[in-house]
Structure 1
Amino acid sequence: RRTDATIPIWVAATVLALDQLTKVWAAAALDSQVIDVFWKLRLNLTTNTGFAFSAAQGFGPFLGVLALVVTVVLWRMRQRFSGALSNVALGMVVGGALGNVADRCFRSPRWGRGAVIDFIDLQFWPIFNVADMAIVTGVAILSVRMWFDQRGEVPLA
């Protein structure tokens, strides 16, 4: 159904826009400084050519293609997730993945070899960005949904 696709599309577009806007801000404002926000939260600019938690450094092109493949697979599976919250979660995962893929494609040093900008630093966890938050939250919601489906219970999402 066409209306089912509008929720994840709007959420993905919103996540992508927020992610890219915050990364542009971080690249400009945090270039030579760290901002302490509250308790352990600080804003600290870094780049990542790997994937989650800075693993697999230097595999950016492969990871970009992998992220696109996973995004397409998730999108094609969207009929499985019929609830509004599941559609929001799907949009979060897709938007976050596209945000990080955009960095890999268009950021320095050259097309397809770019590094993802990370800047949210909790000091006890690897530095991350808005796209990472959206992906983790969306995957958690979808995982709970699948767990309920397998148990035959009525899902919340």
Structure 2
Amino acid sequence: MSALALVVLVLDLVSKNWAEDALMDVESRPLLGDLLQLRLIYNSGAAWGMGEGITPVITCVQILICVAAILFVVRGVRSRIWVVALGLIIGGALGNIHDRLLREPAPFRGEVVDFLQLPHWPIFNIADIGVTTGAILIVLLGVLGTAPDPSAAGAEPADGAAEHEEPSA
């Protein structure tokens, strides 16, 4: 989990630094024709720019969610696919938390660097891709019934008293 989270975090930070250097004076630049454009913006809100006036609250909530995800992984996740999903989420969350803590205008009020734009979709970054992909994966795992700890999924109650069905007559 930590390796994947670190990869997502590094890719996010490097790509944001590149975007600030390469796109500062550019309105929009095609990357994949009209499908994917490069356009630099600074987002002080949460997803899709919502909550612009409460950036410190958003920052604190993101930190709490990230800490909770790390504790969940350490304490109870034994499934590799769950580790992948949570690694994507944690790496992406850390990338955006970094921006909120260390970028202008001030700690806990920093603006997130976004630079990838699809048609009819808000501008986003690599961290957002990690968080979204991890969240979609977790929803799929839930729908498929894949437990975070496969060994505990079929475990009997702690007191050893398993419920047994009575045979029908």
Regarding TM over 0.5, the answer is: yes
What is the TM-score when the length of structure 1 is the normalising length?
Answer: 0.86
Where in structure 2 are there 5+ consecutive unaligned residues? Answer: 151-169
Matching residue of 2:61: 66
Shift of 1:82: 2.5
Tell me the matched-pair count: 145
Give a deviation string over 1:25-54, Cα, whole Å, max 9, x none: 001110011211123211000011111111
Matching residue of 2:163: none
**Larger mean Cα displacement after TM superposition, 82-91 or 47-56:** 82-91
Residues 112-151 of structure 1 mapped to structure 2, 5 A cutoff? 112-149=108-145
What is the TM-score when the length of structure 2 is the normalising length?
Answer: 0.80
**In the alignment, is residue 50 of structure 1 matched against residue 45 of structure 2?**
yes
Match of 2:70 among 71, 75, 87: 75
Where in structure 1 are there 5+ consecutive unaligned residues? Answer: 1-7
**In the alignment, is residue 24 of structure 1 matched against residue 20 of structure 2?**
no
SS of the residue 1:113 aligns to: coil
Shift of 1:147: 2.5
- CA RMSD in angstroms comes to 1.7
Residues 83-98 of structure 1 mapped to structure 2, 5 A cutoff? 83-98=79-94
SS of the residue 2:116 aligns to: strand
**In the alignment, is residue 36 of structure 1 matched against residue 30 of structure 2?**
yes
**In the alignment, is residue 107 of structure 1 matched against residue 103 of structure 2?**
yes
Shift of 1:58: 2.4
Q: Distance in 1 between matches of 2:142 and 2:68?
A: 16
Give a deviation string over 1:70-127, Cα, whole Å, max 9, x none: 1111222225543222211111100100100000010111222110000001131000
Q: When you count helix as a share of all residues, which structure comes out higher?
A: 1
Q: Distance in 1 between matches of 2:16 and 2:131?
A: 16
| AA in 2 matched with 1:104 | R
Q: Distance in 2 between matches of 1:21 and 1:150?
A: 34
Q: Distance in 2 between matches of 1:58 and 1:116?
A: 14
* Structure whose CA Rg is larger: 2
State, as a whole percentage, how many aligned pairs show the same letter: 33
Point out 4+ residue stretches in structure 1 off by more than 6 angstroms: none
Q: Distance in 1 between matches of 2:146 and 2:86?
A: 18
